[in-house]
């Protein structure tokens, strides 16, 4: 019996190899896109260095009642765009 070369394989074997290659390629592409988006989100949060929040409701609930912004020296009010540092200090954006 003569040895079987790669050109002598049936078509269904080629399809299995090609399908497996496409599957691995698509899986790695999805993983790379997910990883890149995670890195972008991490870089965005590190760039600002604080959490952005909108003060909806009463300032008493967020323990900001009677406090003023250290940047603009105004009191905190409802629906203000605030930045909150990791030490829980808030300021107007």
**pLDDT tens-digit map of 31-58:** 999 999 988 887 776 666 666 665 555 5
* Ramachandran angles phi, psi of 42, nearest 5°: -65, -40
Give me the pLDDT at residue 3, please. Answer: 75
Say whether pLDDT at 13 is over 70: yes
Distances (CA, A) of 74 to 25, 71, 84, 90: 55, 8, 16, 12
Distances (CA, A) of 55 to 37, 47, 52, 67, 69: 28, 22, 10, 14, 13
Say whether pLDDT at 10 is over 90: no
């Amino acid at each position: 019996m003569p040895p079987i070369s790669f050109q002598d394989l049936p078509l269904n074997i080629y399809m299995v190899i090609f399908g497996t290659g496409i599957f691995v390629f698509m899986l790695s592409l999805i993983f790379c896109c997910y990883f890149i988006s995670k890195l972008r989100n991490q870089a965005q949060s590190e760039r600002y260095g604080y959490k952005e929040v909108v003060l909806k409701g009463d300032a008493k609930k967020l323990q900001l009642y009677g406090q003023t912004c250290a940047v603009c020296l105004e009191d905190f009010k409802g629906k203000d765009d605030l930045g909150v540092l990791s030490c829980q200090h808030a300021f107007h954006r």
